Amino acid sequence: MEWNQLQKEFETKANHVLQWLNNEYGLIRTGRVNLSIFDKVHVMCYGEEMKLNQLANIQIVNATQVLIKPYDKSQIQEITKGISVANLNVNPIINPDSIRINFPPQTEENRKASVKQAKKILEDAKVRIRDVRKDIQTMYKKLDNVSEDLIRYFEDELNKITKKYNTTLETRYSEKEKELMTM
């Protein structure tokens, strides 16, 4: 196994960590409504658990309001129950053919709590990157016929790539923090 193969494996796993970070950041509520917060809403419908986006059209009305129009209007109560179980801290307003959700404006306290949550996600992502790095180190140290010089070269290259990914994580956190603190 060559360095190029190990590097590709590291980058593949590290990109999964970046994707995870972006998904987690998408779930943090900002001053504007983001439809990804409904990704964790599951509804018991037709005898099985289904995602909300499979059962209804979800659209943003304005920065703080969402309109949910079920494809089958008889499922409005089940959808409302699913939203309550998902613990989104909202009160759905039930209309005959739709559900309207008003999100309260973010307070300074909520924004700071969201920044703390984003920081915790960043730290988790950094730990995951370190774990990937450790796995790759273990792989190349187990290789046969590898000189000390080559191991040092691998270490240096791995450190450079790890630093690059950590910088990317920090940049993404800074962007999210700015987004969260902007009114």
Segment among 9-18, 71-80, 155-164 with least mean pLDDT:
71-80
pLDDT confidence of residue 129: 95
Q: What angle do CA 55, 56, 57 make, to 5 degrees?
A: 150
Nearest one of 103, 104, 101, 25 to 56, comparing CA atoms: 101
48-51 and 56-62: which strand pairing?
Answer: unpaired
Return d(Cα 95, Cα 97) in angstroms, integer. 6
Mean pLDDT, residues 62-86: 86
DSSP state of 63: T
pTM of the predicted model as reported, rounded to 2 decimal places = 0.73
Q: Tell me the per-residue pLDDT of 94-133, one tens digit each, with 9 for 90 and over.
A: 888 899 988 877 788 888 888 999 999 999 999 999 999 9
All structural domains of the chain, each given as residue ranges with its CATH number in brackets, are 3-29+107-182 (1.10.132.20), 35-102 (3.30.1360.40)
